[in-house]
Amino acid sequence: MSGLKVVVIGGGSSYTPELIDGFIRRAGELSVAEICLVDIPTGQKKLAIIAELSRRMVDKAGLKISITSCFDREQALQGADFVVTQFRVGGLAARAKDERFPLQYGVLGQETTGPGGFAKALRTIPVILAICKDMERLCPDAWLINFTNPAGLITESVLRHTNVKCIGLCNVPIHLKMTIAKLLDADANEVYIDFAGLNHLVWGRTVWHKGIDVTAKVLELMQDGAALTMKNIPDLKWDGDFLQALGMVPCPYHRYYYMTDAILAEEQAAAAQGGVGTRAEVVKAVESRLFELYQDPQLAEKPAELEKRGGAYYSDAAVSLISAIYNDKREIHTVNIANNGAISGLPADAVIETNCVISKNGALPLVVGELPPELAGLVQHVKAYEMLAIEAGVHGDHNKALQALANHPLVPSVGIAKQLLADLLMINAEYLPQFED
């Protein structure tokens, strides 16, 4: 069989039609022979629905891409050229618990940061390392494109503890770029943003349009109420004085750090009886509707309703990254990769999110240098948490887990960290084999 084999782990995800759409739109530059969708047996129904929709999509496009599906990961990985990970251990039910259990302690509940993000990381690390162990044996030359959250932390776990070639990916930078282009009424291809930071903690340090610095104009538009948020984050308006003082474009997830009290109040109201529910509970309803649409035998393209799921531009980011590697394009993408000196003051093997030159050899980060104090403090704080979280997740180390929570900027005290950890370990016991002892 000529052409690439792409394996999607978490293939039954509602995001998968986004990915299939990306491969269809880039068929002229990326010859894909097979896309193998892999999931677990409990996701059998969803996987079957996604596989059938994917086949209708490639058939409508007139492409000869074989869409296969299975539950045997080892079988799927044999001969893979690219592996995309987009799975959620425990599903949306686990995410809903992540979002609820911290609230009783007056702490934010969120799927990628704080105690909720920590719980997700601990559940995910053993699974991603097992996948990588299989890859080392069955497809050692394959690239792993990790979209599984928390993307930066999971990517760092892979790069620190396996030999797999891995690049982490998030749709926040491309979402910011596309949204800012709309604000400027500009072609997105003419907009360049100097991104630097960590996953879900990245700043647009400078915005360029046709080579002209338009950062001040973008910040002015944001002060006028323009939204740069995403579907899964409350659209709280930025304080104009703060933006002016910062002089950079924050990402939507910065609201959790810069507007903690306001977002906590929104979360508590949503989770209370009579509220709309946590984001996971809202997404359950969105996904239910999506899978109803996906079953329509007349549907042969990704539906517009998929945008409500929160993964806008995922296909653009993922498939263009794969194409840049495969075709040795040497073009710039914003990805998660080992620092290797790009940001001063961080370890070489710490994973950062920044602009990189992408080639057949992977991602080469552009030099950032020293971050200004208003960025450096928060980056160092969160990176310390991430490094501790990785060691806790890999080794099942209770002491590292406690230190990770105690060091997270959204956890107010050691006493609360201890209570959060006890709850977290109890709630997630079935997914945390590394903590069995």
Q: Quick check: is 429 in a domain? A: no
Q: Quick check: is 432 in a domain? A: no
CATH of the domain at 97: 3.40.50.720
DSSP-assigned states of every residue in 205-227:
EEEEETTEE-HHHHHHHHHTT--
pLDDT at 254: 95
Mean pLDDT of the chain: 94
Q: Quick check: is 387 in a domain? A: no
Separation between Cα atoms, residue 154 and residue 148, nearest integer Å: 7
163 in Cβ contact with 142 (< 8 Å): no
Instruction: Report residue 108 as tokens.
Output: 């934010």
- Provide mean pLDDT across the span 248-274: 94
Q: Quick check: is 98 in a domain? A: yes
325 in Cβ contact with 360 (< 8 Å): yes
Q: Quick check: is 375 in a domain? A: no
Percent of the chain residues topping a pLDDT of 90? 89
pLDDT at 235: 65
Q: Confidence class of residue 227 from pLDDT cuts 50, 70 and 90? A: low
Percent of the chain residues topping a pLDDT of 70? 96
Does 257 qualify as catalytic in the annotation?
no
DSSP-assigned states of every residue in 59-103:
HHTT---EEEEES-HHHHHTT-SEEEE---TTHHHHHHHHHHGGG
Residue 23: which domain range? 4-170+284-326
Q: How far is CA 371 from CA 246, 343, 376, in A?
A: 13, 7, 5
Q: Are strands 351-359 and 191-198 parallel, antiparallel or unpaired?
A: antiparallel
8 in Cβ contact with 34 (< 8 Å): no
Q: 2-58, pLDDT tens digit by residue? A: 799 999 999 999 999 999 999 999 999 999 999 999 999 999 999 999 999 999 999
Q: 157-193, pLDDT tens digit by residue? A: 999 999 999 999 999 999 999 999 999 999 999 999 9
Sign (positive/negative) of CA torsion 272, 389, 129, 348? positive
Q: Quick check: is 390 in a domain? A: no
In the chain, the number of structural domains is 1
Q: Which of the residues 105, 192, 253, 257 is marked catalytic? A: 253
Instruction: Report residue 351 as tokens.
Output: 């994973």
pLDDT at 275: 86
What's the whole-model pTM score? 0.95
Q: Quick check: is 181 in a domain? A: no
Q: Quick check: is 424 in a domain? A: no
pLDDT at 223: 79
